[in-house]
A and B are shown apart, each in its own frame.
Chain A
Amino acid sequence: METTTMGAKRGVPAVGVALGAALFVASAIGGQPEIGVGMFAVMAIYSGVLVVFGRRSETIAILRGRPADERLASFNNLATAVAGTVAILVAIVGFLWAIAHGQFGSDFAIVAAAAGIAYLGALLWFRWRG
């Protein structure tokens, strides 16, 4: 009987490297390839740490998307919820800060709106699935 929810994110280190490559390409297109190299290096090192230490540390295994059991998987879910909540709060506070400084704050508004729509969509989805 399967008692864990792991397995859905086995490509996390690969995604990290791919994201690093995307950061490099975007930086190069923006005329700042040296910054792109730095960002790629950071992502590559991060991905390497996930691969090398993923079997030695439960925390790194969670970061790698391979929690050892359901309890550790639940930590990942809780941490994701906390991170999402903080991101939404930052977006809302940033939006208010921008408006208070005479700016439109559209960047923050887009993030907050995307988070709100994603939350509502997920809520409806899970409710529909029952």
Chain B
Amino acid sequence: MRNEIRELRSAKGLRQEDLANALKVSRQTINAIETGRYLPSLPLAIELAHFFGKPVEELFHGDDNDGR
């Protein structure tokens, strides 16, 4: 699953550490989400959406060939 977290964070001029502190998660977790190595829980995804002021579906995109 792809996401726009890195782009949105960069647009706000934030470091991974800044976003991590805001969401009370580790910087490594933000990096793992941005690189697609970790899919956040629904509560964390909603927190990310609230943080960036966008709906969740604008942050996360299903792969085109995932068959769902």
Docked-complex contact A69 and B25, CB < 8 angstroms: yes
Q: Which residue of A lies closest to B50 (CB)?
A: A1
Q: Identify which of B26, B44, B46 contacts A58 (C-beta below 8 A).
A: B26
Chain B contact residues (Cβ within 8 angstroms of A): what range?
10 to 19
A3 part of interface (Cβ distance < 8 Å): yes
Q: Which residue of B lies closest to A2 (CB)?
A: B43
Size of the chain A interface, CB-CB below 8 angstroms: 10
Shortest CB distance B28–A (Å): 8
- State A71–B29 Cα separation when bound (angstroms): 6
- State A68–B25 Cα separation when bound (angstroms): 7
Shortest CB distance A6–B (Å): 11
Shortest CB distance B62–A (Å): 21
Which chain B positions have C-beta within 8 A of A107? none
B10 part of interface (Cβ distance < 8 Å): no
